[in-house]
Amino acid sequence: MPLTAPPDPPALRCELTQQVRGATVSIVGLVFASEVKVGTYQLRVVKKGPAGTSVLNQGGTFTAKPSDAIPIGHMALSVEAGGGYTAHLLVASGDNRAECEDVHERL
């Protein structure tokens, strides 16, 4: 059986991380690149709960290197019982784009 080479990694990839401390959630985006990339990001968080809905937007530029996870965007929000949030991250560099989303509900 012939061996096949593993697929090339995507030119851009993103992840969303969260850290919870009590009712506060910190969200950080990460961007990964297969080669040096300069680009832009848009981080959008929609928080819903008993008190209503909030929309937070953040954007900027990044320079990514192939060996590093580059943190982009940082938001801290309070999520009360019965609430939740959806975080969406879009990263772009030239013709390369990546999107990731994270949905969390608190009881």
pTM of this structure: 0.85
Residue 14 has pLDDT above 90, yes or no: yes
Mean pLDDT, to the nearest integer, of 92-99?
A: 95
By DSSP bridging, strand 52-64 and strand 12-21 are unpaired
Q: In whole angstroms, what is the distance from residue 93 CA to residue 9 CA?
A: 15
**Residues near 80 by beta carbon (within 8 Å), at least 6 away in sequence:** 23, 49, 50, 51, 106
Residue 107 has pLDDT above 50, yes or no: no
- How confident is the prediction for the chain on average, in pLDDT? 89
DSSP 67: T
Domain 12-102 in CATH 2.20.140.10? The answer is no
Q: In whole angstroms, what is the distance from residue 92 CA to residue 31 CA?
A: 10
Residue 54 has pLDDT above 70, yes or no: yes
Q: Which of 7-16, 35-44, 53-62, 90-99 has the lowest mean pLDDT?
A: 7-16
Q: In whole angstroms, what is the distance from residue 88 CA to residue 90 CA?
A: 7
